[in-house]
A and B are shown apart, each in its own frame.
Chain A
Amino acid sequence: MDELRSELKRGTIEMILLILLNSKEMYGYQLVSELEKRGGALFQVKEGTLYPVLYRLEDKGFIESYRDIPERGVPRKYYKLTKSGIGYLQELLSEWRSFVNVIESFTEPKER
């Protein structure tokens, strides 16, 4: 079960991060906390491995980052979705939905 779960996580983590960033711009730590809050135990990931995924998305031009230096506190690096990122997310989501539908259809009892 663990193996399936980690494979699923690996395959969907980019989509999940894009969904989260689609709702609002976030900085790394916030993104991770949000993921944990909403994903719970099912989406527990080692946080250190999320940054490389963000870099990958940034390299592909799906998200972009900017620095925000508040008057007090830690300088933050915010990530936000780009136009092509929004398009890519739509593609990922429709792919995901059709995938889930097909799997669902497999589990339905077959008509004679």
Chain B
Amino acid sequence: MTMRDSYLADVAKHITAHREQKEQFINDLRAHFEEGQAAGDSDMAVIDRLGQAEDVAAEFMTNIQIKLAGFWERTLAFLVDMALCIYTMVFMYGIVLGVPYMIFGGFSSESLLKLAEDVFTLKMLGSLTIILIPMLILVVLGTGALFLLYFPILEAQFGQTLGKRLLGLRVLKERKTAIGMKEAFLRRLSYYVEILALDALFIPFTDKKQRAFDIVAKTIVVRDPGYRRNAVAILLAIVLFTIPFFALLALILTNDPHIIIRL
């Protein structure tokens, strides 16, 4: 990759969505390099005069109208993400604990119930303990990492988590350019230091509809341009995060683990 290409890629990286306008801009900048070259300027000299890639992108983004996302759609997206994390966690525990039980106890609902009982009463299958404990530690670490890293990694890489994608939301810097690792982790600090995301209650009352830690990280959440919200996506979102809720409710109400398997 030449210096010119990597500079243009850098500008493009900071511009969010808007493919056609972005391509037009990048083409104009490329032509600018070519004119510079024809006038005897090196790529380095042209880059120096063009300015920092992010500043150039930010100036471009001033032309773009954005719509800030509100409290409810963001909460819904968050619940979808939490549901996905919980499913993954359950799946990982299921593999680690469930598979050995099934191998030794047979593939039956009884062995699953035995597992549930042993987990709840903290009794592990005797001879399996030695294998299970280290695997369990690995799973605990793995799911811990999942909960800590799911949001910041996806948001830094793609500007949105799966829940945000489903609802057409995107995280941007206040100057509307794409966020990086720094912003992604900063805005997520709230989840590491609080159990309840109290800071979300800031959203309805701030100018830019920011959570407290959005303000810290200087980020905003906007509606993805071009995304058309549809009832199916919203319904899917609601179903996704209510399933574990109802399963838990059923368990508590009936006090009977069989209900989970029947569900």
User: What are the residues of chain B within 8 A of A53 when measuring CB–CB?
Assistant: 59
Q: Is B31 located at the chain interface by the 8 A CB criterion?
A: yes
Residues in chain B near residue A109, CB distance under 8 A: none
User: Does residue B123 face the partner (Cβ distance < 8 Å to A)?
Assistant: no
CB-CB under 8 A for A51 and B29, given A46-B50, A46-B51, A46-B56: yes
Instruction: From known contacts A56-B63, A74-B38, infer whether A49 and B31 are also in contact, taking CB-CB under 8 Å.
Output: no
Q: B11 interface residue, CB < 8 Å from A?
A: yes
State in angstroms the CA–CA spacing of A88 and B185 once bound together: 46
A4-21 at interface with B (beta carbon < 8 Å)? none
Does A73 have its Cβ within 8 Å of any Cβ on chain B?
Answer: yes
A48/B63 in contact, CB under 8 A = no
Any chain A CB within 8 A of the CB of B158?
Answer: no
Interface of A is mostly: helix
The chain B residue with its CB closest to the CB of A74 is B34
- Looking at the assembled complex, report how far the CB atom of A48 sits from the nearest CB atom of chain B, in whole angstroms: 3
Residues of chain B at interface, number, CB under 8 A: 23
Residue in contact with B35 in the complex, picked from A49, A56, A74, CB distance below 8 Å: A74
Q: How far is the CB of A40 from chain B (nearest CB, A)?
A: 14
Tell me, in angstroms, the Cα distance from A77 to B25 when the chains sit together.
12
**Contact among A27, A29, A30, A52 for B62, CB-based, below 8 A:** A52
Q: Are B25 and A76 in contact (CB under 8 A)?
A: no
Q: Which of A57-77 touch B at CB < 8 Å?
A: 59, 73-77
Q: Which residues of B contact A27 (CB under 8 A)?
A: 35
Q: Please report B residues at the A interface, Cβ cutoff 8 Å.
A: 11, 21, 25, 28-29, 31-32, 34-36, 38-39, 49-53, 55-56, 59-60, 62-63
Per CB-CB distance, the 3 closest pairs between chain A and chain B, nearest first, are A46-B51, A48-B56, A29-B35
